[in-house]
Structure 1
Amino acid sequence: MSEEDDAIVVQLADPPNCPRCGEPGPVSAQFSHSWKNASGEKVPGIREVMLCPVCNRDEPAADGLLAFLAVHETLEPSELETFHNLSAAWVAVARARQVDQQQLDDEYERSRNGEL
């Protein structure tokens, strides 16, 4: 089974604040995530992503879910399929997003040099 086939846990009640900007977000999701360590072995884990109305603005999948949640304060049974489809689209984009290694390396060097 691939990671994409694993369960996704979506949290609507009291999700954590956005780790990038600190703003409250309406939803978070957790899903399986793995990487290869220095020896090439697969390391399994779990990744959590936040839907942030500030940081995710102008991302089509995020905008669709944000608009839906702005209109629907509570989820009715008739809206669950739409919510599911919008959430799945957002998680697929978030799951594919990778770390900008150059930016991470630059920030690490600035931190070592006392510039952060």
Structure 2
Amino acid sequence: MPQEIEIAVADLPDCRRCTAAPLLTARFPYSWQNARDEKVTGFREVMLCQQCDRGTPAADALLALFAVDSQLDLANVETFATLVRTWLEETQERTVDLQLLDMEWDQWQRGNL
């Protein structure tokens, strides 16, 4: 069954990581197993930020499109769709880096973050 994915490119909240203006957001169904091994379903929202998301091929390609074409129109909508699809495939596979999370939690508790 295909997933419904909502893409937004206007009226976006600031990036949660750096407070810059993101270029787009995507919201999609997401699920995981909790500690009791029960499936928990919900939605996940990701942002494409030109400050925070550089460095992966899919994000870099989409960022390049926004740098060249500041507006979506009939001339670039197919390219946009392909690049967003590729970026989402990459983004949906990302998981939390538990070591980094533990390190940041420790820093936060000591008042260093």
Contact in 2 for aligned 1:27/1:51 (Cα 8 Å): yes
Q: Cα distance, 1:81 vs. partner?
A: 1.2
**TM-score, normalised by the number of residues in structure 1:** 0.87
Residue 89 of structure 1: aligned partner: 86
In structure 1, the residue matched to 2:20 is 23
Aligned length in residues: 113
CA distance in structure 1 between the aligned counterparts of 2:24 and 2:67, rounded to whole angstroms? 12
Instruction: Give the aligned CA root-mean-square deviation in angstroms.
Output: 1.5
**What is residue 62 of structure 1 aligned with on the other side?**
59
* Letter matched to residue 10 of structure 1: I
- Provide the C-alpha distance between the structure 2 equivalents of 1:41 and 1:8, rounded to a whole number of angstroms: 24
User: Is there any run of 5+ residues in structure 2 with no aligned partner, and where?
Assistant: none
Q: Percent identity?
A: 44
Aligned to 2:98: 101
Higher-helix-fraction structure: 1
How many Å separate the matches in 1 of 2:63 and 2:40? 32
SS for the counterpart of 2:75 is helix
Deviations 1:7-51 (A, max 9, x none): 111110122221111111111111111111111001001111110
115 and 72 in structure 1: CA distance in 2 versus 1, 3 angstrom threshold: closer
Specify every segment of 5 or more residues in structure 1 that has no aligned partner in the other structure, as ranges. none
CA distance in 1, matches of 2:11, 2:84: 17
Given residue 100 of structure 2, which amino acid in structure 1 is its aligned partner?
Answer: Q
